[in-house]
Structure 1
Amino acid sequence: MTDTIFALSSGAPPAAIGVIRISGPRAGTALAALAGRLPKPRHASLAKLRDAGGGLLDEALVLWLPGPATETGEDVAELQCHGGRAIIGAVEAALGVLAGVRRAGPGEFTRRAFANGKIDLAQAEGLADLLAAETELQRGVAQAMATGSFSHIVGDWRERLLMQSAALEAVLDFADEDDVATLPADFMVRIAGLEQEIAGWLERPRAETLREGYRVVIAGPPNLGKSTLFNTLVEADAAIATPIPGTTRDVLTRPVAYDGIPFLFADTAGLHDSVSDEVEAIGIERAMDALDRADLVLWLGPEGEGPDHSWDIASQIDRPDSLVKRHPRHRISAVTGAGIAELRADLIATARGALPKPGVAALNERQHTLLRDANRALASARHESDPLLVAEGLRLARVAFDSLLGRTATENMLDALFGRFCIGK
């Protein structure tokens, strides 16, 4: 991180204003080179920006923010230019020829904030989700993680665990001293309490479902109106709907939001046994895979024959030859619209209960795995009688906590995370 980096941090030009951020040890030098001076720290100042030959680039507001009290923990400068393409391009070109100054890669500003201790890994993951949020629910949950609510909880767990580890180490190291020869009476009670708190977090809805959308798969035999229902639910002619069997050959997905709840609807090939077409067979195989990954299946086939996580739907009720169902969850016609509003309301209520609550942090797969590892280590320690094995269990739990916050993160994992960010963030 000896290089100084720069990037456009505002929206793509043309725009009213283009904000170019510079971060690193030569940020002040770069600002002075273009503005002709270094302005008073943390005060916006109007300056004429010039290239190395003295040519006028733009008249802009400039900010000088010396580190470490900055977002990245480094010296930072901001150029608030006019947002035309030519102006932004010219200013970036002038910065690019300065010694020790280069364009930033994706997520490099945030990665520097992490490396300099301004944010931890859980907050960085929350920030990545916040930037990708498309619904209010996604924004609220990601905001909770990005602002450190979960990190504070993990930090508290870690401190409490350190206190118990210290008590245990005292017993191991100074067992001949009367005042530390035995563990505190509530030692195991405290470990059990920590274990229960973590278990509560492990039972919460996961972040992936929120990020990708509540996955609803429409399935059943051919010619029962799956594609027509799919088009109705996504409010677009996304799937080809015809009376010809086998029209749908692949899994077609489309994201949509109802009342701020993200859904991912999937239309699938008709399921049946007498398949002679190789392409159709592949489509059915993919449909079965989609059923396995679904949060919910809308089953249009014979009553009671759908997978466990399915709703029986009586479709095509406008037709005299529709499949008869005695106790379906919904009776609908995607053609006339009958029952669709009720089905949609039921979907919203069900998904809302399965997704994280607004403004409450949710665990992603990495965090869930590490928290599960910590909980297993604590459970193992609580059932051991040998103090050395108890100490090892507590140590493994601390390692998991450290990994959650990024204190033991690998470069490959960091590359994958920060690669999700846009350039300039």
Structure 2
Amino acid sequence: MPAGDTIMALSSGTLPAGVAVIRLSGPLVRPVLDAIAGGVPPPRRMVLRHIGAGRALDQGLVVHFPAPHSFTGEDCAELHVHGSPAGVKAILAQLRDRGLRLAQAGEFTRRAFENGKLDLVAIEGLGDLLGAETEKQRQQALSRYDGRLSEEIERWRDILLDLRAEIEARLDFSDEGDVSEELPPDWLGQLGGLETMLTEALASIDSGRIVREGIRVALAGAPNAGKSSLINALAKSDIAIVTDEAGTTRDVREVPLDIGGQLFILLDLAGLRATESRAEAEGIRRAEKAIAAAEIVLWLQAPDTPPAELPETVGQVLTIATKMDLGRKATADISLSAQTGAGLDELVARLRAIGETLGGAEPSLISHERDRLALTAALDALRETRAALADWELAAESLRLASAALERLIGRLDAEKILDRLFAGFCIGK
């Protein structure tokens, strides 16, 4: 990505559309607005202009965001024009003739990072926000993008700086009479308090991950227990194939479902039974693996199918008596019929209640693998500090490693190692 040039992109999605937004960032923004938009409009004020150099290509709204008060920290502008493929193509061609180039995926956001407008934690929040499918995902992503986690990290770093200052003062000025050889009385208390804060943050990562990635719900049982029918009933769509033939499901099918703003991933699995078919046996192996890792297991039992044995799982198990329309009663947590819809509302309510328990009332901001690695490294370094207090140099080095772990999390160290991977998931105009 060449630095210092001016980039452009269609930021509003696929054409044709009612409105197309063309985004610009870089040093040529002002000259380009003079040339094709009748001059630079007042900052952050939309004005109606004819757009085009020499001849009007379209008419639309133009807004200018002067540096450094813009998303990227550079001069930025947006052209809000009609979403005509021909019109947008003609405008981009004129911009290209005047020295602008098409942006790469995530390049606007990368410039915002490089110019100190966003840190890596906020950028990950922005990426999560762009992909949010449920209300809880939106809340979690927006809070991270707005800097709530970054503020917490800065608070932890400030405590670390105070702890390091006391240790390093004893290293640098050990021969000065005004520096005590003993640490201040509250120093160990500060260290312990920071350990507690990081431990509590790390403990919330499972609930944060569940909100971001979804709760995996395995529908399990014997063949023809009603798994695919229940999937279709919950999703209100004929997603899964339903037949009377046993063993038709041979892979793990994932169906996303929004329940109360929480994402649930329903897993339609192969029926569990002994089989001589290698293909079906592989499906059963995958089903058992999915059951073992699921947060919730719906164990389906139908009156017209033989019993099966529930595999080991770490998830919460709900026994579901299916096909209650056949008129046979069974002992289960919930009885339902995918054909008539009886019992489905009760199942959805139970799933929602479990989801609120797993995801928490307020979504945790600690939700990425990078978060876990950084907090774990920082905690390990703090424990090493406590063990090394007899040697100031070792203690100071351990505190430095703890600081480095947090700085790496927000992107002040080793940022280049993850930027390309991070921005690869962004759209071109972001």
Q: Which residue of the partner structure matches residue 416 of structure 1? A: 421
SS of alignment partner, residue 326 of structure 2: coil
Is the aligned partner of 1:396 residue 2:398?
no
Q: What's the CA shift for 1:247?
A: 1.4
State how far apart, in whole Å, the 1-side matches of 2:266 and 2:202 are: 26
Which 10-residue stretch deviates more, 32-41 or 158-167? Answer: 32-41
Q: Name the structure 1 match of 2:323.
A: 316
What displacement does 1:78 show?
2.1
Q: Name the structure 1 match of 2:219.
A: 218
Partner residue in 2 for 1:405: 410
Give the Cα separation in 1 of the matches to 2:360 and 2:5. Answer: 40
| 1:351 corresponds to which of 348, 355, 369 | 355
Write out per-residue CA displacement over residues 63-84 of structure 1, whole angstroms, 9 at most, x where no aligned residue: 3332112110011122222332
Q: CA deviation at 1:303?
A: 8.4
After superposition, where does 1:96-135 map in structure 2 within 5 Å?
A: 96-99=96-99, 101-135=100-134
Structure 1 position 55, deviation (Å): 2.5
| 1:197 pairs with 2:197 | yes
Find the counterpart in structure 1 of residue 76 from structure 2: 76
Match of 1:25 in 2: 27
With over 3 angstroms needed to count, the CA separation of the structure-2 counterparts of 1:230 and 1:290, relative to structure 1, is same
Structure 1: which amino acid aligns with 2:281?
A
For 2:338, what is the secondary structure of its paired residue?
A: coil
Matched residue type, 2:52: R
Alignment partner, residue 252 of structure 2: 251
Conserved? CA contact 1:303–1:312, under 8 Å: no
Contact 1:215 / 1:264 at 8 angstroms: preserved in 2?
yes
Amino acid at match of 1:158: R
CA shift for structure 1 position 348: 0.5
Q: Cα offset for 1:131?
A: 1.0
Deviation by residue 1:370-424 (Cα, 9 ceiling, x = unmatched):
1121112112212333222221221111011101111113434111111211121
- Shifted more, 390-399 versus 375-384: the winner is 375-384
**Alpha-carbon separation, structure 1, partners of 2:294 and 2:58:** 54
The CA distance in 1 between the partners of 2:429 and 2:232, in whole Å, is 38
Identity over aligned pairs, percent: 44
Note the C-alpha offset of 1:186.
1.5
Structure 2 CA distance for partners of 1:39 and 1:239, relative to 1, 3 Å: closer
CA distance in 1 between partners of 2:239 and 2:42 (Å): 57
Rounded Cα–Cα distance in structure 1 between residues aligned with 2:339 and 2:422 = 44
TM-score (norm 2): 0.91
CA distance in 1, matches of 2:294, 2:111: 38
| Preserved CA contact (<8 Å) 1:143 1:359 | no
Shift of 1:218: 0.6
Q: Deviations over 1:144-166 (max 9, x none)?
A: 00000000110111011011101
Q: Deviations over 1:86-126 (max 9, x none)?
A: 22121111112222x10111211111101110011000000
CA separation in 2, counterparts of 1:197 and 1:82? 51
Task: Give the conservation status (yes or no) of the 8 Å contact 2:134–2:262.
Answer: yes
**2:300 aligned residue:** 300
Aligned length: 418
The alpha carbon displacement at 1:285 in A equals 1.7
Shift of 1:11: 4.2
- CA deviation vs aligned residue, 1:350-388 (integer Å, no higher than 9, x gap): 011111544653421111221121112112212333222
The one-character-per-residue Cα deviations of 1:218-242 (angstroms, maximum 9, x if unpaired) are 1122122222222222222211222
If the length of structure 1 is used for normalisation, what is the TM-score?
Answer: 0.92
Distance 1:45 1:239, change over 3 A: closer
List structure 1 segments (4+ residues) > 6 angstroms apart after TM superposition. none
The DSSP-based 3-state class of the residue aligned with 1:134 is coil
Q: CA–CA distance in 1 between the matches of 2:363 and 2:286?
A: 36
1:136, distance to aligned residue in structure 2 (A): 1.4
Alpha-carbon distance between aligned partners in 2 of 1:235 and 1:64, rounded to the nearest angstrom: 46
The equivalent of 1:370 in structure 2 is 374
**Are the equivalent residues in 1 in contact too, given 2:273–2:308 (CA < 8 A)?**
no
Does the 8 A contact of 1:219 with 1:268 survive in 2?
A: yes
Q: Cα distance 1:121–1:200, how it changes in 2: closer, same or farther (>3 A)?
A: same
The answer to whether 1:86 aligns with 2:86 is yes
- TM-superposed CA distance for 1:254, in Å, is 0.7
Which range moved further: 156-165 or 296-305?
Answer: 296-305
The verdict on how the C-alpha distance between 1:219 and 1:42 changes in structure 2, with shifts beyond 3 A counting, is: closer
Unaligned runs of 5+ in 2: 302-306
Name the CA distance, whole Å, in 2 between partners of 1:118 and 1:337.
Answer: 51
Q: Name the aligned partner's letter for residue 370 of structure 1.
A: A
Going from structure 1 to structure 2, the CA distance change for 1:315 and 1:179 (only over 3 Å counts) comes to farther
The partner residue of 1:333 within 315, 337, 354 is 337
Q: What SS does the corresponding residue of 2:367 show, helix, strand or coil?
A: coil
Q: Report if aligned partners of 1:9, 1:423 keep a CA contact under 8 Å in 2.
A: yes
Structure-1 residue corresponding to 2:50: 48
Give the structure 1 partner of residue 286 of structure 2.
286
SS in 2 for 1:198: helix
**Secondary structure of 2:265's aligned partner:** strand
Q: Give distance in 2, aligned partners of 1:102 and 1:74.
A: 16
Check conservation: 2:408, 2:415, Cα contact below 8 A.
Answer: no
Partner of 1:144: 143
CA distance in 2, matches of 1:72, 1:159: 27
Partners of 2:198 and 2:335 lie apart in 1 by 42
> Using a 3 Å threshold, how does the CA distance of structure 1 residues 299 and 158 change in structure 2: closer, same or farther?
same
Q: Is the alpha carbon distance of 1:37 and 1:317 closer, same or farther for their aligned partners in structure 2, counting shifts above 3 Å?
A: closer
| Native 8 Å contact 1:230 1:267 kept in 2 | yes
Structure 1: tracts of 5 or more residues without a match? none
Equivalent residue, structure 2, for 1:166: 165
